[in-house]
């Protein structure tokens, strides 16, 4: 089916059901960033492969909404003959609908694919203009998607306490005790990564995201009603999770949720879908709007999880350093590979590492102008060759049983222009400023974001993405609620949280630059009048000294770079041999030796 025939099929079905508009998000019923192929509805209708976006199909037109990460990519992938391009933040779909349709219009959404918060806000916005939001869980795309693939269903992994540091029974009892503060009888644990962390399980059904596709009701006594396909539960799961974990098939979910009459159920309207909470409410339960009670405990890693993350990052560094050394040797020999071959080679170096389970996301292997697309994917077209006298951006990560990694390095190819070196240096200065900051209890990532942008702002530059996202423990590479960005985030940064530090700069059609490490929040040692927290880098890979304009750096910045590189060489060097170790020694040499 072509884009035109797919849109026509949807419009025919919309007309039969009396809808004037259909909203299609990039989401499935679990509302996660990474979704299985059979739920890629936005991709099916538009051809857009980004990790966030939304389409709105009208009777005679359509629009696709993306954020600043995808403004270039969307124009390359989505046909302007069928879709207009809109900014997801600057022109929210609900507001666009009110300016595009007339009063009386009926807008269809699948309530399983939207949070309750989004659903209510959209409903209010449309009603104010005389329009109606129509919940239709009989998804229109699914009815038209004739070649829709079957779901991939595989047994989960039972994660031992040597990796988790705490039993499921202990986690459940600890979090259930917190329900008393809300006078709640149960909590809807909706996000699959929350369920997976709570039960010490990991799934294999979604590429790059090792979560069990499930949701659960955590009771006040610590017991759990787990809604999951029984085929996903491996042998021994009951003994692993505990006798007080009860299994329910997805087909029984509606009945279970609707049977909570008289119960006070805590649910997060921002992370749980509208469908589940509407069923609870319609069944007589009282909804208590509050954050997912698992989010914060999961985000604050314990000592075992942090130790695992450090070990995983050392092994990951060995793979990335070997890749960078190999790349330099290939370039010296005049062999300029394409983006796909480079990504495959990096994966091959990682695959030999202990506890490696797979990539933590699709590698962004971006040559030249492709790096200007923050979430570029070389699989979406013909992979580009490395251009001479430019830069190569590689953003990649691994899922290890003891940790999740995410690293971006920007690499010089030949002799990049002086302006590229200046901008790289400014990005690195922002990275250093954020890495070195000390902050008191109560500080959010929003308070710190300006530090990473200031070197760019001083020269009139900026970047249109967040500066840091949370990272899980062998879970999602994009974990909430912790983050660093300009948009307000109320979550304070606390010890044990792992975040990325990744300022960047992007010039459409020319090049892209990003410097990313993962860091962990920890208490600052010393006799301080006000207790302070700071960041400690987990990532241990050198930055490309060939791209650093040392004359732009302050003394403290030069000291930071040299100290970081000494730390990298001390930790990773002994694990390398021959040319790889020689390459690392040269890459970590003091700036004075440049």
pLDDT digit string (tens) for 438-447? 999 999 999 9
pLDDT at 543 over 70: yes
Work out the percent of the chain whose per-residue pLDDT is above 90: 93
Distance (Å, rounded) from C-alpha 548 to C-alpha 590? 12
Distance (Å, rounded) from C-alpha 39 to C-alpha 31? 11
Distance (Å, rounded) from C-alpha 370 to C-alpha 51? 17
Distance (Å, rounded) from C-alpha 457 to C-alpha 448? 15
In the chain, domain spans: 3-144, 157-292, 300-593
Confidence of residue 32 (pLDDT cuts 50, 70, 90): confident
Q: Which CATH class is domain 300-593?
A: alpha beta
Helix, strand, coil percentages in the chain from 3-state DSSP, rounded to 5: 40, 20, 35
Distance (Å, rounded) from C-alpha 563 to C-alpha 590? 9
pLDDT at 354 over 80: yes
Residue keyed to tokens 């939304």: 54
3-144: CATH number:
3.40.350.10
Residue-level pLDDT at 382: 85
pTM: 0.92
CB 434 within 8 A of CB 501: yes
Q: Cβ neighbours of residue 72 under 8 Å, at least 6 residues apart?
A: 372, 373, 508
Provide the CA 245 distance to its chain's centre, in angstroms.
Answer: 29
Distance (Å, rounded) from C-alpha 366 to C-alpha 373? 8
Provide the phi-psi class of 18: left if phi over 0, else alpha when psi is between -120 and 50, else beta.
left
pLDDT at 586 over 90: yes
DSSP state of 68: G
Query: Token digits for 253?
Result: 């979910």
3-144 matches 157-292 in fold: yes
CATH architecture for residues 157-292: 3-Layer(aba) Sandwich (3.40)
Residue-level pLDDT at 593: 52
pLDDT at 375 over 90: no
CA angle 516, 471, 154 (to 5 degrees): 125
Average of pLDDT values for 356-371? 95
Distance (Å, rounded) from C-alpha 148 to C-alpha 314? 41
Residue keyed to tokens 């050392």: 314
């Amino acid at each position: 089916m072509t884009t035109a025939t797919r849109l026509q099929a949807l419009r025919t079905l919309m007309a039969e059901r009396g809808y004037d508009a259909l909203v299609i998000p990039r989401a499935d019923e679990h509302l996660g960033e990474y979704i299985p192929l059979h739920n890629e509805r936005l991709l099916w209708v538009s051809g857009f492969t980004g990790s966030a976006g939304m389409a709105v199909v009208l009777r005679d037109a359509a629009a696709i909404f993306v954020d600043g990460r995808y403004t270039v990519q969307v124009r390359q992938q989505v046909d302007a003959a069928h879709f207009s391009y809109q900014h997801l933040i600057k022109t929210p779909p609900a507001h666009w609908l009110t300016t595009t349709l007339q009063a009386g219009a009926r807008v269809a959404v699948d309530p399983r694919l939207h949070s309750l918060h989004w659903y209510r806000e959209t409903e209010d916005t449309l009603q104010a203009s005389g329009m109606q939001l129509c919940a239709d869980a009989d998804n229109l795309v699914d009815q038209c998607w004739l070649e829709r693939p079957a779901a991939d269903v595989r047994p989960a992994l039972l994660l031992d306490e040597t990796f988790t540091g705490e039993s499921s029974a202990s986690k459940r009892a600890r979090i259930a005790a917190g329900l008393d503060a809300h006078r709640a009888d149960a909590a809807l644990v909706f996000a699959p990564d929350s369920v997976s962390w709570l039960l010490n399980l990991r799934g294999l059904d979604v590429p790059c995201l090792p979560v069990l596709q499930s949701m659960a009701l955590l009771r006040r006594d610590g017991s759990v009603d787990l809604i999951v396909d029984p085929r996903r539960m491996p042998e021994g799961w009951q003994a692993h999770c505990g006798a007080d974990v009860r299994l329910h098939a997805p087909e029984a979910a509606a009945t279970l949720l609707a049977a909570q009459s008289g119960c006070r159920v805590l649910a997060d309207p921002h992370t749980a879908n509208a469908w589940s909470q509407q069923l609870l409410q319609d069944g007589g339960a009282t909804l208590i709007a509050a954050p997912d009670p698992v989010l914060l405990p999961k985000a604050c890693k314990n000592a075992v999880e942090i130790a695992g993350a450090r070990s995983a990052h050392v092994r990951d560094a060995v793979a990335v350093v070997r890749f960078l050394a190999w790349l330099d040797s290939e370039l010296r020999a005049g062999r300029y590979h394409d983006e796909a071959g480079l990504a495959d080679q990096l994966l091959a170096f990682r695959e030999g590492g202990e506890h490696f389970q797979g990539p933590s996301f699709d590698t962004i292997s971006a040559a030249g102008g492709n790096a200007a697309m923050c979430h570029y994917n070389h699989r979406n077209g013909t992979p580009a060759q490395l251009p001479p006298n430019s830069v190569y951006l590689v953003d990649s990560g691994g899922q290890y049983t003891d940790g999740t990694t995410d690293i971006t390095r920007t690499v010089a190819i030949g002799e990049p222009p002086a302006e590229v070196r200046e901008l790289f240096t400014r990005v690195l200065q922002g990275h250093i400023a954020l890495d070195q900051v000390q902050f008191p209890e109560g500080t959010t990532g929003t308070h710190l974001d300006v530090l990473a942008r200031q070197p760019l702002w001083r020269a009139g530059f900026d970047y249109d993405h967040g500066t840091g996202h949370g990272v899980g423990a062998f879970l999602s590479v994009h974990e909430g609620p912790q983050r660093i960005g300009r948009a307000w985030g109320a979550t304070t940064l606390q010890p044990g949280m792992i975040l990325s530090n990744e300022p960047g700069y992007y010039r459409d059609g020319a090049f892209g630059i990003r410097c990313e490490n993962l860091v962990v929040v920890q208490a600052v040692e010393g006799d301080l009048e006000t207790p302070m927290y700071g960041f400690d880098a987990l990532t241990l890979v050198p930055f490309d000294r060939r791209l650093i304009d040392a004359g732009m750096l302050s003394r403290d910045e030069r000291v930071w770079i040299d100290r970081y590189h000494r730390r990298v060489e001390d930790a990773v060097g002994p694990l390398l041999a021959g040319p790889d170790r020689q390459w690392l020694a040269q890459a970590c040499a003091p700036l004075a030796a440049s």
